[in-house]
Structure 1
Amino acid sequence: MPRTTLALTSFVSGEFSPKMDGRTDFEKYNSGAKTLENFLVHPQGAATRRVGTQFIAEVKSSAAKTRLIPFEFSTTQTYILEFGNTYIRFFKDKGQILDSGNPYEISSPYLTAELFDIKFAQSADVMYITHPNHEVMKLSRTGHTSWTLAQVDFTDGPYLATNSSTTTLTPAQAATGSNINITASAVTGINSGAGFQTTDVGRIISFNSGKAKITARSSTTVVACTITTAFTNTNATEAFNLGAFSDTTGHPSCVSFFEQRLVFAGTTDEPQTLFFSKAGDYENMTTGTNADDAMVYTIASNQVNAIRYMKAVRTLVVGTTGGEFTVSADGTDASITPTNITIKRQSSFGSANVDAIPAGNAILFLQKAKRKIRELQYNFDSDGYQAPDLTILNETVTDTGINEMSYQQEPGSNIWCVRDDGVLACLTYQRSENVIAWSRHIFGGVFGNGKSVCESVASISGVLTEDEVWVIVKRTINGATKRFVECFSDFDFDETSPTSFKFLDSHLSYSGSGTTTLSGLAHLEGQTVSVLGDGATHANKVVNGSGQITLDRSVTSACVGLPYDSILQTMRIEGGAAEGTSQGKTKRISKVVLRLFETVGVKVGPSLTNLETIPFRTTSSLLSNPVDTLLSGDKEIEFNDDYNSDGFIFIKQDQPLPCSILAIYPTLVTSDG
């Protein structure tokens, strides 16, 4: 029976699919894991227990699903916006913005069912928001409690193609004014032969060098208008243009900035058409042939390719239901103009209706089935874009479907993905170091008979070394459905003070004079909570009817919240044998050396039902005191395992304490008999 010691020195390949169980020949096999739950992977290789979430506020109505959207004016002026049913609320500095003691709120046109189809693009203190059912909106900020959401009033355009039928339009007067009738000679050429509709109210019409906005519809051939630019005469004319954006034809479904232009795309009637503003004049859609004029271009293809997202990198990347395209100036580095614009297909995977994410030099987008995330990036060798599958090593991590993604650049370059089943999947992504590592994150608490449900995620810049990750989590609290806005505590790898640990979800913190009563926990009414007091664990408590818990001993600092488990399971150990591989052969792990970083309270074993608690205290240490020094170094554990053919190693942290695994060194014997 050969005896050998292995070195599992990295987890940069993340959680593997069960389909990878037999790939011991794969170069990344020993840097992968069978389970990575509530562990984050660092690009350097370590696996660290994720931090907990701080409770910020309950959403306005826990009966309705809500969405978080980031708003960043600068690195210090960053906000999280709670979009709910016809309202927006605001958060900053890990707190809710209040006005006279109440949550500051403005109204919006977006219904609950529309929230996750919203797309947006921001420039300074202005965010442009699109949804196919609504006019393009502009959200403006002038102060913490001074926000305005208004329809964009375009200077001119954009328009559909000029009427090519014999139908004419005649205005009742040429001068500017309101409630002026415009009469069509027929319905042909208007709304595909249906004539004017009530949904045309708000639509613009251009002819005879003038412009009017429809304010009422009398019949299929007569509309009342406000003439905003005088017509040259009242002559009947066939040369008229109807506005491209309306409730009849649909409004843009996505928006982006590109080369000093604001670009809209994806209306209902023109799903594969892009509308570029004038250069430097975002709300002016006047087309022409001058270099700075607005442009309207339709992607040419043999099938309808509805545009799902647009993102600006070295070119404008356009994701559609049928493929991925780039917009550039004749393939050169020049700026696009009405005379040099070129649109080229780069791949044919197709995109889901979920906004893509710029990450480094790549665009990460969700394939149309919502189960694969692809990395669209320019490749100099092929002089084109390639889109490899980032879920190839773990297709199960997204197989329930993804409905939202957010990018946290610092400190670990993480892509957070909300799954349809409420699990928050995380991709540690650093292409330059070939780090593509998936992990899964399940929040403390329950919803119904299952686990808590994550419904939305958003990231904003925080301090210089950390971006803030915000979530909305749905739980059953005291028999009722609750949706909470929460924010991850700082992802601080180097936490040395026990009183700063925040490894509980929906937690609140206390600091002050010594006390045994902690209050203000009404959001966790009736829940069993864990407590870390003065850096030491306390007995679990149930929050009573007044939002309080009573501890067994006094504390001056505490963190109270819902517990969660962090679990790491290795792949099947491959240690070789006298006759080749150790796979399928009887083996026994006799001991394991864990190389840890600032860790305390870990359990290790061959299964989740057979775990050994690693001692971090001496016999003279008081259990009511925190561990004096967190362990950064090696810890040898006698492994309580029987002979078997798998050789799994499980590491579990279920206390509100830190755990970082740098490497695992198992010693095992393998039988060739």
Structure 2
Amino acid sequence: DWTIASVVFKGGPFLEENTTAAYLMGFARTGGVPVRVGYYFPTGATGTLTATGGHTPFQGTTDDVGTLWLVKHARTDNKTSTFDSDDNSIPTDLTAAIRIKGDYTATFEPIATTEEAKLWRKQGDGGWQEYRSFREPTAYSATENEGDVYYAMSRSVNTIGGTLVAKNQYNRGVVKVVTHNSTTVANVIVVDAVLSDNATDAAVTTPMWAEGAWGEYRGYPRTVNFFEDRLWWASSTNYPDTMWGSQTSDYENMEYSDLGLDTDAIIAPLKDNEVSQIQWMMSRRVMAIGAANREYSLAAQNPEDPITPLDKKSTPQTGFSSGSIQPVMLNDSIFFLQRQGKKLGAMKFDSVTENFVVDDATLLAYGLLDSPPTNIAVSRSPDSLIWVVRTDGVMPTFTYEPKEEVSGWGRQLTQNSANVNIPLGFFESTAVIHGTTEDEIWVCVRRSVFLTDAELAIILSYDTTPTNDVIDMLEILQALDDFAAGTLSLKLVTIMQDMWAEATLISSMGSYEEDVYYIELFAPRDWGSDIEDAKFVDSLVTYDDVTASSAMTGLDHLEGKTVSVFADGVVFDDAVVASGAITLKKATVITTASVVQMGLPYTMKGRSMRLAVPQSPSALQTKIKRVTSVTTRYIRSLLGSAGVEYDIKDTENGTVTEFLTDIGALYSTESADTPKTDRATEGGFNEEAYTVILSDDPVPFTALATITEVEV
């Protein structure tokens, strides 16, 4: 199970540190728990953050809430000569301890032969651990890379002297605004310990402070990515061309510690002569970055090295321009949509030039994305496909197999049986889930359906004033009460609200249609060895029982719609759903079946590219020609038709005319060819010479090739 929860980032990120010495900030604890511990207000302490010196860093509104603030102090507790005990017992508190991060030294002398000094370490809420022991005079140096760590000294006899020194001279306290107050005061909670005066809860003011880079006022990042064991964020409202990388292996820690550690968090603005909003990031050998104006790479000076706070370089790569829809990775390329959504780019990394290059994957499909895309997904099994949902509800797909030099576009439409190019159902979004045998393609589809007789009767029962012939407000209120009580469905109360808003006549309810959104799963490409298990209708319902039946139910979601039927491997008559049910008929005769696939029909159409054969002195594609015969090679297919298509341009708007002949394919797991389809007496001469394959039955059809003869 999983949940969505807010993330409390540690250590930042922050904007540039204040440089005006008179502008001071200070945290004062106002009570509650936890209390001050020695020199520090611990994580969870609450109080106020106050600005003095004439500056107003806060907005004084709810825009302040959630913003982090850095409160940095020069440390006065970075050195101690106090031992926690004179008998080397385990420390019990922090009285003689100091916080250490970075380099530190510990010196002990004199130490007699039988005596011993010890160095103890404690991290966070953990217990004290013996870290080192010393039996002779020592000058010990080490580096502490973790945060929230305390060290303490102990000795076996009080004649041993010692000094513990933390070389990091600053404490980076962090607080988060919980409620707004004014432009100079905010109510805050401590995220990372803040330095105190070791005596009171009063503020210790400091000119070393910085505002958090993220918040309601400055905005939050809009894109995220993992790269080189860091979590990267990019493109806030105020800083659209900036990236922030977490500490290595600590994805919620955004602290830059001032120690120059390679594992520290990173701030990386794009280095360019124009501001360009970062739209996406994607990990390759180096990190690819898509921005509104161009694409970039982010890497160390030597791409073989990891990125560090002091070794990072952003380099402009291409000028394709990137949209906000997140890209997908397929085979050797990153596929992303251009800023206007008219093109799909395929970005590859060239290991020779160490640069990215972008090809236009829509170059030969001009106009395919004129309707703006809204969603993109990728499937890798059984075939490599990119699924793009357009605003008009059509879903183009791009097949990409670079090793086989195969790439090409198709269009997925639903409910297009009346007109192959005009769908009556509309794809809203898509997602791909890795399945057991092949990837699962899930879609949200908007369909228009009729009310069932039972649903219609329920709505009509609310008509308490028949003379008005409209739903009134009192009836709406009653419907809402019934919905709250669980006796009326959300679908029906929504319809009643629409009727009231549009003053729909109750007497017209017999033909009332409602847009409904369905979550549907594409049937697997591999349906097995039995043809009756082939699923080639939409919004499918399957009946599979040893007892053959002609009465099919469970079709309430398709009320009033005409459905196609494929039963026991044979195409049955279409049927209209009434009260969620149909009766199976074959050639108008009621017929029973054991395995039935029922659903909305759609039409499959495949059209070849323009016929092109290299010729001298001019190419065949530019010549006037006529297709005289078409042979279709197919496998695992039923029925279907094939022929040619002509674009007739001598009419007012231009029309497309098809000359097709039924193939009558018989199902086989071996490939087969149709007889040549004679076209000499039909159609005419034109430049395109398109070959067409069409299937409008609820059956599979897989075309392997078309063999075309032409007359020039």
Q: TM-score, normalised by structure 1?
A: 0.71
Say which SS state the counterpart of residue 592 (structure 1) adopts. Answer: strand
Q: Which of 416, 421, 428 in structure 2 is aligned with 1:455?
A: 428
Say which SS state the counterpart of residue 208 (structure 2) adopts. Answer: coil
Say which SS state the counterpart of residue 636 (structure 1) adopts. Answer: coil
State the partner residue of 1:264: 233
Q: CA deviation at 1:631?
A: 6.4
1:504 aligns with 2:537: yes
**Rounded Cα–Cα distance in structure 1 between residues aligned with 2:302 and 2:617:** 58
**Rounded Cα–Cα distance in structure 1 between residues aligned with 2:229 and 2:615:** 63
Q: Which of 382, 386, 395 in structure 1 is aligned with 2:366?
A: 395
Distance 1:524 1:206, change over 3 A: same
More strand by proportion, 1 or 2?
Answer: 1
1:344 aligns with 2:315: yes
Q: CA deviation at 1:462?
A: 0.8
Q: Which of 8, 11, 34 in structure 2 is aligned with 1:156?
A: 11
Q: CA deviation at 1:472?
A: 0.8
State the partner residue of 1:224: 187
Q: Which amino acid aligns with 1:632?
A: S
Q: Which amino acid aligns with 1:434?
A: E
Q: CA deviation at 1:268?
A: 0.8
Contact 2:55 2:184 in 1 (8 A): no
Q: CA deviation at 1:579?
A: 10
State the partner residue of 1:622: none
Distance 1:326 1:613, change over 3 A: same
**Rounded Cα–Cα distance in structure 1 between residues aligned with 2:613 and 2:213:** 66
Identity %: 28
Which deviations, in whole Å up to 9, do the C-alpha atoms of 1:88-136 show, x marking residues without a partner? xxxxxxxxxxxxxxxxxxxxxxxxxxxxxxxxxxxxxxxxxxxxxxxxx
State the partner residue of 1:603: 641
Q: Which of 325, 349, 359 in structure 2 is aligned with 1:354?
A: 325
Say which SS state the counterpart of residue 4 (structure 2) adopts. Answer: strand
Distance 1:495 1:597, change over 3 A: farther
Q: Which of 587, 591, 602 in structure 1 is aligned with 2:629?
A: 591
Distance 1:360 1:592, change over 3 A: closer
Structure 1 range deviating more: 374-383 or 249-258: 374-383
State the partner residue of 1:77: none
Distance 1:373 1:278, change over 3 A: same
Distance 1:223 1:635, change over 3 A: same
**Rounded Cα–Cα distance in structure 2 between residues aligned with 1:358 and 1:454:** 22
Q: CA deviation at 1:345?
A: 1.3
**Rounded Cα–Cα distance in structure 2 between residues aligned with 1:451 and 1:164:** 63
Q: CA deviation at 1:157?
A: 1.3
Q: CA deviation at 1:590?
A: 3.7
Contact 2:659 2:683 in 1 (8 A): no
Q: Which of 241, 246, 251 in structure 1 is aligned with 2:210?
A: 241
Q: TM-score, normalised by structure 2?
A: 0.67
State the partner residue of 2:567: 533
Contact 1:397 1:440 in 2 (8 A): no
Structure 1 range deviating more: 438-447 or 252-261: 438-447
Q: Which amino acid aligns with 2:644?
A: P
State the partner residue of 2:576: 542
Q: CA deviation at 1:581?
A: 6.3
Contact 2:641 2:664 in 1 (8 A): no
Q: CA deviation at 1:346?
A: 1.0
Distance 1:643 1:227, change over 3 A: closer
Say which SS state the counterpart of residue 213 (structure 2) adopts. Answer: coil
Distance 1:186 1:368, change over 3 A: farther
**Rounded Cα–Cα distance in structure 2 between residues aligned with 1:434 and 1:629:** 28
Distance 1:609 1:642, change over 3 A: closer
Structure 1 range deviating more: 517-526 or 587-596: 587-596
**Rounded Cα–Cα distance in structure 2 between residues aligned with 1:310 and 1:507:** 38
Say which SS state the counterpart of residue 408 (structure 2) adopts. Answer: strand
**Rounded Cα–Cα distance in structure 2 between residues aligned with 1:369 and 1:392:** 15
Which deviations, in whole Å up to 9, do the C-alpha atoms of 1:278-331 show, x marking residues without a partner? 111111111132121111111122222111101111111111112111111213
Structure 1 range deviating more: 577-586 or 312-321: 577-586
Contact 2:414 2:602 in 1 (8 A): yes
1:405 aligns with 2:269: no
- Where do 5+ consecutive residues of structure 1 fail to align? 1-145, 617-626
Distance 1:510 1:632, change over 3 A: same
Q: CA deviation at 1:473?
A: 1.0
State the partner residue of 1:472: 444
1:639 aligns with 2:639: no
Q: Which amino acid aligns with 2:237?
A: T
Say which SS state the counterpart of residue 428 (structure 1) adopts. Answer: strand
State the partner residue of 1:101: none
State the partner residue of 2:600: 562
Q: How does 1:414-433 map to 2 (within 5 A)?
A: 414-433=385-404
Aligned residue pairs total 510
**Rounded Cα–Cα distance in structure 2 between residues aligned with 1:327 and 1:587:** 53
**Rounded Cα–Cα distance in structure 2 between residues aligned with 1:189 and 1:161:** 16
Distance 1:581 1:361, change over 3 A: closer
Q: Which amino acid aligns with 1:500?
A: D
State the partner residue of 1:120: none
State the partner residue of 2:475: none
**Rounded Cα–Cα distance in structure 1 between residues aligned with 2:279 and 2:617:** 55
Structure 1 range deviating more: 270-279 or 178-187: 178-187
Distance 1:600 1:183, change over 3 A: same
Distance 1:374 1:581, change over 3 A: closer
Which deviations, in whole Å up to 9, do the C-alpha atoms of 1:216-255 show, x marking residues without a partner? 1121111111234442232222211222221111111011
**Rounded Cα–Cα distance in structure 2 between residues aligned with 1:530 and 1:187:** 77
State the partner residue of 1:190: 57
Which deviations, in whole Å up to 9, do the C-alpha atoms of 1:361-380 show, x marking residues without a partner? 32111111111111111224
**Rounded Cα–Cα distance in structure 2 between residues aligned with 1:407 and 1:559:** 27
State the partner residue of 2:706: 664
Q: CA deviation at 1:156?
A: 2.3
Contact 1:588 1:642 in 2 (8 A): no
Q: CA deviation at 1:263?
A: 0.8
- Where do 5+ consecutive residues of structure 2 fail to align? 30-35, 74-170, 197-202, 451-512, 646-656
**Rounded Cα–Cα distance in structure 1 between residues aligned with 2:331 and 2:708:** 37
**Rounded Cα–Cα distance in structure 2 between residues aligned with 1:588 and 1:307:** 51
Say which SS state the counterpart of residue 246 (structure 1) adopts. Answer: coil
Contact 1:505 1:561 in 2 (8 A): yes
State the partner residue of 2:28: 172
**Rounded Cα–Cα distance in structure 1 between residues aligned with 2:618 and 2:296:** 49
Q: CA deviation at 1:669?
A: 3.5
Q: Which of 510, 522, 541 in structure 2 is aligned with 1:488?
A: 522
Distance 1:306 1:544, change over 3 A: same
Q: CA deviation at 1:384?
A: 1.7
Say which SS state the counterpart of residue 629 (structure 2) adopts. Answer: strand
1:521 aligns with 2:492: no
**Rounded Cα–Cα distance in structure 2 between residues aligned with 1:359 and 1:581:** 34
Q: Which of 651, 664, 686 in structure 2 is aligned with 1:615?
A: 664
Q: Relative contact order: is structure 1 or structure 2 higher (C-alpha 8 Å, sep ≥ 6)?
A: 1
Q: CA deviation at 1:186?
A: 6.3
Q: Which of 315, 332, 335 in structure 2 is aligned with 1:364?
A: 335
Contact 2:632 2:642 in 1 (8 A): no
